[in-house]
Amino acid sequence: MNIHICAYIKKKERVDMYLSTLLPDFSRSYIQKMIDAGDVSVNGKKIAKNLKIQQKDEISIHINIEKLQLSAENIPLDFVYQDENIAIINKDAWLNTHPTPGIDGKSGTLVNGLLYHIKDLAWIGWVERPWIVHRLDKDTSWLIMIAKNDKMMLYLQEIMKKREKIWKYYLAIVWWIIEEKEFKIESFIGRHPIDKIKMTTKNPINWKLAISHVKVLDYIDEKYTLVEIKIETGRTHQIRVHLSSIWYPIIWDKVYGDKKINSEAEKKYWLKRQALHSYKLEVELYWENKIFFWELKDDMKKIIKK
């Protein structure tokens, strides 16, 4: 498959960043691999991944359509809902969603489990992560949507892009007491200018608007707050970055949290992953608004019960 694009940008931009924004089905790292393999050219010439393109540059992309060589594995999956077009799963933390490079990354993933449990999965075009509709952090437990065919994949991606007909709610346990009962966090989020692993609200690179609505539900041990977050946008690490930016980091968040706070939470509650869980999903399916809810995983449940 070949794609031809005429760049429409106001200022120069790295070609890999531009394409990862323009083609949400491909991660930036995957696009860089295509560039390294010579499958991306600008104005008819092979390029380097750090090349900066400008207005009216012509970009050509050759996409090699290859089915993943994966085996079905009997991995326990927590199904919340399933029909002929879509499945919704309450994913465990630590379970990789899709395969990663290397021999060890080809097994033990959600995709391997899907191949075992769902017999009517259709091959979805040239999508890098087949059937997985939205990205998620490995250490987060949550409700994840699985598109079983092209038609459903395109529909779900479209409503997520337009921010309509779909609403996602999360539960998080954060450090310290939040006194304001309901509030909105609205900021620009982008790559950290120095630490490439992090996203940030301060001087971000390639920023995008991010909006989160926060509601306080309860307090735990007079030191932590249980909050519900409804997101209007779906930026990378959005909830973690937003809560950390207002000095209420999610406990045991190794990237945006505090080492001392995380250590205390681990000793007190035996918690070994960030206390973030997607517990409710509202989505319009078949011209009807459907609400899916699933309970917390055991590690977060123990803290809240305490």
Which residues belong to the active site?
A: 137
User: What are all long-range contacts of 300-305, with beta carbons under 8 Å and residues at least 24 apart?
Assistant: 300/141, 300/171, 300/173, 300/271, 300/275, 302/269, 302/270, 303/173, 303/220, 303/224, 303/269, 303/271, 303/275, 304/173, 304/218, 304/220, 304/226
The residue type at 130: P
- 44: region left, alpha or beta (phi > 0 left; psi from -120 to 50 alpha): left
10: DSSP letter: S
In angstroms, the CA 23 to CA 209 distance is: 18
Cβ–Cβ under 8 Å, residues 159 and 211: no
In angstroms, the CA 265 to CA 286 distance is: 43
